[in-house]
């Protein structure tokens, strides 16, 4: 149905509309691009594109605008993932290179990504699901209060407070610490939880209740922290593209604050390491984000798991640029975190 030139027309409609935020008409197409045919011919092509529901006219006498389906076609077949400019690459290098710990790396990544894309950027913390236990630390704080610190090989550190029912014996706590570490070191988290369940058994009966309190709290900690954390940046960019949303940007901001929503969204997008995937407009309807698109990529960390990062913005976004930026940052991040 739709000719090769028809697809070219779709491409420039997407590009021009993204650039100008204005419905694009047949005349402006022949002016701005050299198709070598007249406006009337373009119009004929546009009728076909409209039949396929790839573009639509906001009102009778107006230019065309891509539909969600049109964007989808553009992303799948027409977008050229233009490589980043040298300046951009250098920005990534120099900006991420200075980071010192995991928090810092992720904070810098997300800011960078939001700057490169003028959108809201999201970075998920390295997944704990496949992480392994590196170290467990028990720190006595008060007579009956202990802080447990939990370190994974993905570089993540989690702490928690426990109130125990009896006075802490520091020497004995040292023994528990040593045994905990030898039991858990190198275990994946689900296995670690298993081992913790029966951990108290190896201690003398009179100590078991004390140890069990520590162990059960650690189990909770291990399991609870599977819920992944998210950092975000560039929320202000939403306000700049406000006109792209029919109503207010309020529901969008709301959905963004609800990190659980975003994590579910991330979870539904499959991302081979190094590639990017995209969700467009109403494809996100279940999350209350029917007017936004999300570009997601995966990065891997030393734990071996793949976590996600991406950008979120109005459906009318610069997909080429954003996909390239997400891919570049994801790759750089993988390189940085796999070294650990």
| Interface contacts to a copy of itself, rule CB under 8 A | 100-102, 134-135, 137, 139, 141-142, 145, 147, 149, 151, 153, 155, 157, 159-161, 233-236, 238-240, 242, 248-250, 253-254, 256-257, 340
Q: How many residues bind DNA (CB under 7 A)?
A: 25
- Taking the complex as a whole, how short is the minimal distance between the CB of residue 154 and a copy of itself, in angstroms? 11
Q: Is residue 47 close enough to count as binding DNA by CB under 7 A? A: yes
- Taking the complex as a whole, how short is the minimal distance between the CB of residue 118 and DNA, in angstroms? 24
Q: Is residue 246 close enough to count as binding DNA by CB under 7 A? A: no
| 3-state SS assignment for residue 290 | coil
Distances (CA, A) of 53 to 50, 93, 138, 261: 5, 42, 62, 29
The single residue among 11, 14, 54, 63 that binds DNA, judged by CB under 7 A, is 63
Of the candidates 115, 154, 130, 117, the residue with the CA atom closest to the CA atom of residue 333: 154
**Distance (Å, rounded) from C-alpha 312 to C-alpha 271?**
16
Going residue by residue from 149 to 178, which x/- string records binding to DNA, judged by CB under 7 A? Answer: ------------------------------
The single residue among 37, 99, 147, 212 that binds DNA, judged by CB under 7 A, is 37
Strands 133-142 and 276-279: unpaired
Residue 64: DSSP 8-state: B
φ, ψ (nearest 5 deg) of residue 59: -150, 170
**Distance (Å, rounded) from C-alpha 187 to C-alpha 170?**
26
- Taking the complex as a whole, how short is the minimal distance between the CB of residue 130 and a copy of itself, in angstroms? 17
- Taking the complex as a whole, how short is the minimal distance between the CB of residue 72 and DNA, in angstroms? 21
Tokens of 139: 């720190």
Calculate Rg over the CA atoms of the chain.
26
Taking a C-beta distance cutoff of 8 angstroms, is the pair 121, 296 a contact? Answer: no
Answer with the entry of DNA, a copy of itself, none that 179 interacts with (C-beta below 5 to 8 A by kind): none
Q: Is residue 50 close enough to count as binding DNA by CB under 7 A? A: yes
Q: Is residue 36 close enough to count as binding DNA by CB under 7 A? A: yes
Answer with the entry of DNA, a copy of itself, none that 249 interacts with (C-beta below 5 to 8 A by kind): a copy of itself
């Amino acid at each position: 149905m739709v000719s090769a030139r028809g697809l070219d027309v779709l491409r420039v409609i997407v590009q021009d509309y993204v650039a100008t935020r204005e419905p694009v008409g047949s005349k402006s197409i022949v002016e701005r691009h050299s198709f070598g045919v007249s406006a009337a011919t373009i119009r004929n092509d546009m009728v076909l594109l409209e039949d396929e529901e790839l573009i639509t006219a906001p009102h009778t006498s107006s230019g065309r605008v891509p539909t969600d389906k049109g964007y989808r076609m553009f992303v799948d077949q027409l977008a050229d993932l233009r490589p980043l400019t040298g300046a951009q690459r250098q920005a990534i290098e120099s900006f991420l290179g200075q980071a010192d710990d995991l928090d810092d790396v992720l904070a810098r990544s997300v800011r960078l990504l939001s700057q490169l894309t003028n959108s809201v950027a999201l970075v998920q913390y390295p997944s704990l699901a496949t992480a392994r236990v590196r170290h467990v630390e028990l720190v006595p704080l008060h007579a009956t209060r202990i802080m447990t610190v939990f370190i994974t090989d993905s570089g993540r550190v989690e702490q928690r407070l426990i109130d125990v029912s009896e006075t802490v014996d520091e020497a004995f706590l040292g023994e528990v610490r040593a045994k905990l570490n030898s039991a858990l070191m190198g275990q994946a988290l689900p296995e670690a939880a298993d081992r913790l369940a029966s951990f108290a058994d190896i201690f003398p009966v009179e100590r078991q209740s004390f140890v069990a309190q520590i162990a059960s709290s650690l189990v909770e900690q291990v399991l609870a922290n599977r819920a992944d954390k998210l950092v975000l940046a560039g929320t202000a960019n939403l306000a700049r593209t406000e006109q792209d949303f029919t109503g207010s940007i309020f529901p969008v901001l709301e959905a963004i604050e609800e990190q659980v929503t975003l994590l579910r969204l991330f979870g539904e997008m499959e991302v081979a390491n190094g590639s990017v995937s995209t969700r467009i407009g109403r494809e996100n309807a279940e999350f209350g984000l029917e007017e936004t698109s999300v570009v997601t990529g995966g990065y891997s960390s030393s734990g071996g798991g793949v976590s996600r990062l991406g950008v979120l913005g109005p459906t009318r976004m610069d997909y080429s640029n954003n996909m390239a930026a997400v891919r570049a940052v994801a790759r750089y991040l993988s390189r940085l975190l796999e070294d650990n």
